[in-house]
Amino acid sequence: MSLSALGFIAIYAAGLWSAFFNFAPAAFLTYQFVYMANPAKRWWGATLPEVSWSLLTVVAIAAVTVVHHQSTSLNRLRDVAPMKWMIAILALNIALTPIAVSPVDHQRILIEFIKLVIIVAMAYKVLDSAKRIEISLWAYLIGAAYLGFVAHGRGRNSGGRLEGIGPVDSPDANGTATVLVPAIPILIALFCTGSLRVKVAVALLGVWIVNALVLLNSRGAFLGICVAAAMVMFALMFSKLQRAGQRASVILSIVLGLSGALYLADDAFWERMQTLESMEDDPENGAKRVSFWFKSFEIVSDYPLGAGAQGFHALSPFYLDDESLAGATSGRSVHSSWFQALVETGYLGLALLFGMCMSTNRVLKISLRTLVERREERTYWMVVAVRAGFIGYLCSITFMDRYRAEIFYWLVMYSACIYNVVCVRPMSESSGGGIPEPQEGKPIGHSL
């Protein structure tokens, strides 16, 4: 067995040991580690025992939740709207099983989606403090930097892009790049508000992550990063909560970030980014993404309840012309999570997706206003970064099929955890029970 495999087993065992005996969130941290490491696709994974590490971790998370039930019972899923929307989306996907046009694909994807929702629901239970959420975000950043390390060793391997290094659900270049999108605003916020030690750690992690993004060469991810970075920098410059030297740190981060990006970016990267001005998909597809989006309305008119997972891919040969299908072995993807949801789950599914996203943004905005009142600067900037990462991620997946992506639901879960910590639990503890529905613009709670 290789040293890398031994290291994986040691970290995995240490994580589960900690989860059961002294630190419940270590169960989800271990899952994050397995997700990002993706041992089945690494050279050292061949020397590991042939078991499903992610499935074992899911079972462990469930066991840890039971063991720590007394301390997690106050973290109720029904108290936060985003988690209820998520469960409704899952319920709809389950209900579509009998009418899915590609039943084998639908059942396979549905099983993974059920596992994902269970994982984030249990993670919500154990990430019940601002410190615990922050630790989990650091684990995500370290995992993202590991992907950067793998990318550096692999290099571009497919048409000027890097394929096959991502997590289990995101092996392709676009999918892997979207996994990294939320990392950028988090890194910026930490660099501008953290100590010198934090700044050094962020700089080291950032180099690996940015280099991976350059090699992955994803236009959708690039757009999402631009939106997320602009949001977090605007907040850092003009927010009511300011630390000494904060604006100077923002300017320094801009200079260092642009310098590093210009140094790492090569001709292949700039050539691909220049194609953003065109609405056409990759030249080999011979079709425009927007034409696929319009075809979605034709499909949903025939399948108003939804066609199930992989519905557009299965039905595209019957709706797209020969030119659009040129080069495809079976079918096409719709290249947008919104239209993917529309085709696969109908108008109801799209409405549920919009509801989850809007409620996620709403609880984050309420949490921010509450934190401004309390002058909780450290938690405030964490929430700013998560919100920027979430909105940037939504921009990216507008051009990719990521409706059931892990990172998407991690971001929803982080937002729900933040709202629970900042607003729900303080009110529950102060009132001794009932939790009123928050009113827009009226923060609730008094202390973390």
pLDDT at 268: 61
How would you label 25-47 residue by residue, b for 16+ Cβ within 10 Å and e otherwise? bbbbbbbbbbbbbbbeebebbee
> Residue type at 171?
P
pLDDT at 116: 94
pLDDT at 326: 66
What burial class does residue 22 get, using C-beta atoms within 10 Å of its C-beta: 0-12 exposed, 13-18 middle, 19+ buried? exposed
Q: What is the pLDDT of residues 176-205, one digit of tens each?
A: 999 999 999 999 999 988 889 999 999 999
pLDDT at 263: 67
Using the predicted structure, report yes or no on whether residue 346 has a pLDDT greater than 90.
yes
Encoded tokens for 373: 């009142």
- What band does 171 get if pLDDT is binned at 50, 70 and 90? confident
CA gap 376, 260 in Å, rounded? 32
Q: Which of 101-115, 280-294, 398-412, 431-445 shows the lowest per-residue confidence on average (mean pLDDT)?
A: 431-445
From its phi and psi, is residue 47 left (phi > 0), alpha (psi between -120 and 50) or beta?
Answer: alpha
By the 8 A CB rule, do 1 and 47 touch? yes
Encoded tokens for 283: 């030249």
Using the predicted structure, report yes or no on whether residue 444 has a pLDDT greater than 80.
no
pLDDT at 273: 63
pLDDT at 230: 93
- How many other C-beta atoms can be found within 10 angstroms of the C-beta atom of residue 134? 16
CA gap 373, 108 in Å, rounded? 47
By the 8 A CB rule, do 299 and 97 touch? no
CA gap 343, 169 in Å, rounded? 20
Q: Which pTM value belongs to this model?
A: 0.89
Q: Which of 190-194, 230-234, 249-253, 290-294 shows the lowest per-residue confidence on average (mean pLDDT)?
A: 249-253
CA gap 354, 218 in Å, rounded? 25
Q: φ and ψ at 158, to 5 degrees?
A: -155, 95
Using the predicted structure, report yes or no on whether residue 282 has a pLDDT greater than 60.
no
Measuring CA to CA, how many Å separate 325 from each of 128, 292, 300, 320, 337?
49, 11, 19, 7, 20
What burial class does residue 277 get, using C-beta atoms within 10 Å of its C-beta: 0-12 exposed, 13-18 middle, 19+ buried? exposed
Using the predicted structure, report yes or no on whether residue 378 has a pLDDT greater than 70.
yes
CA gap 118, 112 in Å, rounded? 10
Using the predicted structure, report yes or no on whether residue 261 has a pLDDT greater than 80.
no
Q: φ and ψ at 195, to 5 degrees?
A: -75, 175
pLDDT at 286: 37
Using the predicted structure, report yes or no on whether residue 62 has a pLDDT greater than 90.
no
**Mean pLDDT for the chain overall:** 86
Q: What is the pLDDT of residues 76-92, one digit of tens each?
A: 889 999 999 999 999 99
CA gap 50, 415 in Å, rounded? 35
Using the predicted structure, report yes or no on whether residue 386 has a pLDDT greater than 70.
yes
Q: What is the 3-state secondary structure (H, E, C) of 228-265?
A: HHHHHHHHHHHCCCCCCCHHHHHHHHHHHHHHHHHHHC
Q: What mean pLDDT is predicted for residues 153-160?
A: 78
How would you label 391-430 residue by residue, b for 16+ Cβ within 10 Å and e otherwise? bbbbbbbbbbbbbbbbbbbbbbbbbbbbbbbbbbbbbbee
Q: Where are the domains of the chain?
A: 74-280+334-431
